[in-house]
Structure 1
Amino acid sequence: MAQAAYKKPTRAELRALNKSRKKREIQEKADRRKRLGPWYKRLARHFRLYWQLWLMVSPAMFLVILFSYVPMYGVQLAFRRYDPLKGLTGGDWVGFEYFEKFFRDALFFRIIGNTLRISMWTLVMGFIAPIFLALLINQIGGEKTKKFVQTITYMPHFISTVVMVSMLNIFLSPDSGLIAKLFPTINLMGNQAAFTPIYWMSEIWQHCGWNCIIYLAALASVDTSLYEAAKIDGAGRLQLIRYVDIPALLPTAGILLIMNMGSVLGVGFEKIFLMQNTLNIQASEVISTYTYRIGILSTQFSYSTAIGLFNSVVNFIFLIMANQIAKKVSNTSLF
């Protein structure tokens, strides 16, 4: 008897199948809720079963609510003309006046350009370097040597920002700096073109070892039988890295990249501010330092709040876009 030929389902049939499957899932959820009772009984049962876990995370939740959500009450200051005598809600409502003022500012495009340039260089190079370092450390055979290298590489992470900038000033000093002797005709800390490379290179040197820890943990979870099977098939070191290590790192790398995209315009204030001087201010002025000058030094609190809110909204948009793109491309996402 001849075997029947396979018939590919049409789009209408697939659509009807998906629709019926969704209806069945919805009905199953409804039946499950009906069996478990009203929502308040389900909630009470949940807390009765998992109260230890909620108790454990309650301090962290309290701190997040206190320092991340309660201050959002002051966001309305971006839409009001602040009056110290009337408080946050007593000023006149001006709508988007301060946002328009920022967009019309002569420094707007320079500040956004500096922020994007520094942030994107730091994001891209700071994303690639820990992966590369983790792959190299994972290839070290001796366990003691591997731990020693790992310890040496993540120790700079614990250097404070002030000490880090002081080290940069010493090494790049035109008179006595060790690195500056390689460029005798250039004042590196005062050179506008050199500011961005100095920033992201020092960031990588300081945080690369610490950031690679999570990748090393992902590599440690790889089944050793995969390495053995690849070696039996004749794979060398590069083939092991390409076909075993890198695929194991991709899900972790995707999640970290999405999280980093949420701070595209969030260049750190402390290090930028400490590295600034009158010679490199044209290339080093970013949103965070400009907000400080406008809000704290010039006491334009409403204007600085509007700039900070604009920064947060743009970062949030980048986070959502990166998450949706990653979900469609690699089926990896935060939500």
Structure 2
Amino acid sequence: MEKIKEISNIDENAGRARPEMAVLPKTRTNRRINLWNRYKYCYLLLLPGIVYFLLFHYVPMLGMLIAFKDYKITKGILGSEWAGFKWFELLFAAEDFWLALKNTILISFYKLIFGFPVPIVLALLLNEVLKPSMKRIIQTIVYFPHFVSWVILGGIMFTLFSSSTGLLSLFGLHTSPLTQPETFRSVLVASDIWKEAGWGTVIYMAAISGINPELYEAARMDGANRFDAMRYVTIPSIRTTIYILLILKTGHILNAGFDQVFVLYNALVYQVADILDTYVYRVGISVGRFSLAAAAGLFKSVVGLMLVLATNWIIRRLGGLGLW
């Protein structure tokens, strides 16, 4: 009898549990419907961005197969024969590749060291401008170069640095820094800072505008001047933004700026100016060796991913907030 009662109790408990289990999926479905109804317009705003990344970032990843195949345009990606790591072996065996890799790292490192702090300093200085009209004028001036293409800026720089008709001729100089290996990298870094520093302040200005004004009032009550408020309130408040942008910047360390270098460099400065992107364009795409170009591109992507992971890990170990 006791066993029968236990079995009946189990059946009763199971019978009671079944309706609850049947209700759970329905409850979850209703919850998802409610979330959709509440945030459907937000999802619609996200839709163009999602479609963009799918079409231009995820679908093209199929092209990575080219790096492992003897790609023929007539056969297509899937129809071409497999080549294994043939193109990577050819890539790593070429001396020009290692020279381009060295130039890429050096140019990107110089831009990171000298260029990364400039938008931060510029944003801090703009934040101290009291007159809104003056702030807007300064912002317009420093933002403007970002919207000018490197083709136009390259023509302007060639004209300015011309040894015969440019500003250099006024000072009696007969050599252009764009044709000297000793000065070409400095011109690249300086011109990149001039073009992009103003636009780089946008994110920092947005982060500064989100700082609680009460923090500044408390700092003034403690006797802090404007420099102290900048040092102890503004900079610590935007520290997370600085960390995130530093991580993203480090991930692009092998992108030294194809547009800029391609417009400004010439045969006289190949030894110090030829970067991975121009090397791929000249050796891979111009000659039609698409598999070699894909191998170099995949190498860049893997190295960039490793740098992002390493930088994120270091920042988290130092007590900061990373991307994840």
SS of 1:82's partner is strand
Q: Quick one: distance in 2 between partners of 1:150 and 1:209? A: 7
Change (3 A) 1:83 1:213: closer
Instruction: Give the aligned partner of residue 236 of structure 1.
Output: 225
Percent identity, aligned pairs only, is 35
Q: Quick one: distance in 2 between partners of 1:293 and 1:232? A: 62
Change (3 A) 1:183 1:110: farther
* AA matched with 2:36: F
Pairwise CA distance, 1:181: 4.7
SS of 1:85's partner is coil
Pairwise CA distance, 1:104: 1.0
Instruction: Give the aligned partner of residue 7 of structure 1.
Output: none
Q: Report which of the two has the higher share of helix.
A: 2
Higher relative contact order (CA 8 A, sep 6+): 2
* AA matched with 1:326: I
Q: Quick one: distance in 1 between partners of 2:211 and 2:191? A: 31
Change (3 A) 1:34 1:45: farther
Pairwise CA distance, 1:332: 1.0
Deviations 1:38-91 (A, max 9, x none): 897365554344332222211221111011111111110100111233221222
Does residue 306 of structure 2 align to residue 308 of structure 1?
no
Q: Quick one: distance in 1 between partners of 2:263 and 2:26? A: 57
Query: Mean alpha-carbon deviation: is it higher for 116-125 or for 228-237?
Result: 228-237
Pairwise CA distance, 1:94: 1.6
Please, which of 242, 263, 277 is the counterpart of residue 253 of structure 1?
A: 242
Unaligned runs of 5+ in 2: 1-20
**TM norm structure 1:** 0.84
Change (3 A) 1:183 1:330: farther
Deviations 1:228-270 (A, max 9, x none): 3222322223222211121122111111111111211012212
Q: Quick one: distance in 2 between partners of 1:181 and 1:115? A: 34
Pairwise CA distance, 1:34: 10
Q: Quick one: distance in 2 between partners of 1:128 and 1:207? A: 12
Count of residue pairs brought into register by the alignment: 303
Deviations 1:20-39 (A, max 9, x none): xxxxxxxxxxxxx9985389
Does residue 201 of structure 2 align to residue 212 of structure 1?
yes
Instruction: Give the aligned partner of residue 216 of structure 2.
Output: 227
Q: Quick one: distance in 2 between partners of 1:192 and 1:307? A: 25
Q: Quick one: distance in 1 between partners of 2:279 and 2:22? A: 56
Please, which of 187, 197, 200 is the counterpart of residue 198 of structure 1?
A: 187
Q: Which runs of 4+ in 1 moved over 6 A?
A: none
Change (3 A) 1:52 1:266: same
- For 1:63-212, list aligned pairs within 5 A: 63-178=52-167, 181=170, 184-212=173-201
Query: Mean alpha-carbon deviation: is it higher for 152-161 or for 218-227?
Result: 218-227
Query: Mean alpha-carbon deviation: is it higher for 65-74 or for 45-54?
Result: 45-54
- Is this contact kept in 2: 1:80–1:93, CA < 8 A? yes
Pairwise CA distance, 1:142: 1.9
SS of 1:197's partner is helix
Q: Quick one: distance in 1 between partners of 2:323 and 2:169? A: 44
Change (3 A) 1:278 1:231: same
* AA matched with 1:131: I
Q: Quick one: distance in 1 between partners of 2:23 and 2:169? A: 74
- Is this contact kept in 1: 2:97–2:279, CA < 8 A? no
Q: Quick one: distance in 2 between partners of 1:39 and 1:93? A: 51
Q: Quick one: distance in 2 between partners of 1:34 and 1:210? A: 55
**TM norm structure 2:** 0.87
Q: Quick one: distance in 1 between partners of 2:282 and 2:322? A: 37
Please, which of 25, 30, 35 is the counterpart of residue 37 of structure 1?
A: 25
Cα RMSD of the aligned pairs, angstroms, is 2.2
Pairwise CA distance, 1:312: 1.1
Instruction: Give the aligned partner of residue 17 of structure 1.
Output: none
Pairwise CA distance, 1:282: 1.3
- Is this contact kept in 2: 1:81–1:91, CA < 8 A? yes
* AA matched with 1:84: I
- Is this contact kept in 2: 1:180–1:188, CA < 8 A? no
SS of 1:302's partner is helix
- Is this contact kept in 2: 1:192–1:279, CA < 8 A? yes
